[in-house]
Chains A and B, each alone.
Chain A
Amino acid sequence: MDFAKVKALLIAVFLGLNLFLGYQWWSLQTAVAVYNQPASDQLANIQRSLAQHGVHLAAIVPTETPTMPMLHVTSDHTSLTSIAAQIWGPHVKVHTKHTASGDLLISNQGHIYRSGAGRLVVSYMPNFATTHATFGQKKVLTSLQKWLSRNGYNFSVYQISSWYTHNENSVGTYMQAYNSYPIFSAVLTVYVEHNHLSGYHQQYLGIVGTVNPRPVSSAVNALLSLVQYMDKARINADNTIQDIRLGYDSGITTKSSWYLAPVWRIGTSLGVFYVNAVTGEVGVGNE
Chain B
Amino acid sequence: MKDKRRERSAKIWGWIGSLLTVFLTVLVLMSLTLSGLIWTATPPKMVIDQPGFYSSALNGKLRTVHEVLQPESLWVWTVQNELFRFGGNSRPAAILMDAVLHAQVQDTHLGSLTAPTGSLPPRGPFLELNFEGAGITPSILNWMLPLKRGILPEGAHVTAVYLSPTTQKTVYRLTITTGSRSLHAILTGVSLKVARLFTTSDEATPYALIPVGSRVYNLPYTSTVMRVEQWTLQRVEASHVIDSFFADPTLIEAIHTAKRQVLYTDGSRGVFVNAGEFGNELSYTDGSSRLLHVVKTAADSLNSVMTYMNDHGGFVGNQFLSQVVEGVGGAQARFDFADRIDGWTLFGTLDQLTAIVDNGSIIRVKRGLTYLGARFSTHEEKILSGVQLVKRLGDSRLKNVTDISLGYDALHIAPDFIELEPVYRLTHSNQSVEYLNAMNGKPLLKLGV
- The residues of A with any CB-CB pair to B shorter than 8 Å are 4, 7-8, 10-11, 14-15, 17-18, 21-22, 24-25, 28-29, 31-32, 35-36, 70, 72, 211-212, 214, 217, 221, 224-225, 228-229, 233-235, 249-252, 254-261, 271, 274, 276, 278-286
Least CB distance, B39 to chain A, in whole angstroms? 10
A261–B268 CB distance below 8 A = yes
Q: Shortest Cβ distance from B145 into chain A, in angstroms?
A: 29
B17 interface contact, C-beta 8 A:
yes
Considering the complex of A and B, which 9 residue pairs feature the smallest CB-CB distances, nearest first? A251-B287, A283-B288, A261-B267, A252-B270, A21-B34, A14-B27, A280-B47, A279-B247, A228-B49
Q: A250-B267, A283-B268 are in contact. Are A224 and B257 (CB under 8 A)?
A: no
Q: Is the CB of A279 within 8 A of B291?
A: no
On whether the beta carbons of B30 and A284 are closer than 8 Å, the reply is no
Assembled-state Cα–Cα distance A31/B45 (Å): 12
Nearest opposing residue in chain B for A23, CB measure? B34
Chain A interface, DSSP helix/strand/loop, else mixed? mixed
Q: Please, how many angstroms separate the alpha-carbon atoms of A193 and B251 in the complex?
A: 45
**For B287, what are the chain A residues with a Cβ–Cβ distance below 8 Å?**
250-252, 283
A25→B267 CA distance, assembly (Å) = 38
A278 with B286: CB separation less than 8 A = no
Q: Residue A212 contacts which of B251, B257, B269, B286 (CB distance < 8 angstroms)? A: B251
Q: From B30, B253, B266, B294, give the contact of A233 (CB < 8 A).
A: B294
Interface of B, helix, strand, loop or mixed by DSSP? mixed
Give the chain B neighbours of A18 by CB distance below 8 A. 27, 30-31, 34
Q: Contact residue range for chain B?
A: 35 or more
Alpha-carbon distance between A234 and B27 when the two chains are bound, in angstroms: 54
**In the complex, A255 Cα to B272 Cα: how many Å?**
13
Contact of A14 among B28, B46, B255, B359 (CB under 8 A): B28
A284 touches B253 (CB 8 A): no
Nearest-Cβ distance from residue B15 to partner chain A, whole angstroms: 13
CA distance A24 to B288 in the complex (A): 41
- Please name the residue on chain B nearest to A71 by beta carbon: B267
Q: Nearest chain A CB to B435's CB is how many angstroms away? A: 32
B31 near A276 with CB under 8 A, answer no
Q: Are A281 and B263 in contact (CB under 8 A)?
A: no
Q: Which of B34-54 contact A (CB under 8 A)?
A: 34-35, 37-38, 41-43, 46-50
Chain A residues lying within 8 Å of B195, measured Cβ to Cβ, are none
Q: Are B41 and A228 in contact (CB under 8 A)?
A: no
- Which B residues lie within 8 Å of A29 (CB)? 41
Contact of A35 (CB < 8 Å), options: B35, B46, B291, B359: B46
Given contacts A8-B20, A256-B257, 4 further A-B contacts (CB under 8 A): A32-B41, A251-B287, A283-B287, A285-B289
Complex contacts, A8 vs chain B, CB 8 Å: 20
Q: Are B257 and A21 in contact (CB under 8 A)?
A: no
List 5 contacting pairs A-B, 8 Å CB cutoff, sorted by A: A22-B34, A25-B34, A36-B43, A235-B294, A251-B286
Q: Is the pair B266, A261 in contact by a Cβ cutoff of 8 Å?
A: yes
Of the candidates B38, B250, B265, which one forms a contact with A25 in the assembled complex, judged by CB atoms under 8 Å apart? B38
Q: Which residues of B contact A228 (CB under 8 A)?
A: 48-49
Give the complex CA separation of A254 and B294 in angstroms: 29
Interchain CB contact (< 8 A) of A11 among B24, B49, B267, B290: B24
Is there contact, CB below 8 Å, between B270 and A10? no
Q: Report B256 CB to chain A, min CB distance, Å.
A: 8
Give the CA-CA distance A260 to B35 in the complex, in Å.
Answer: 41
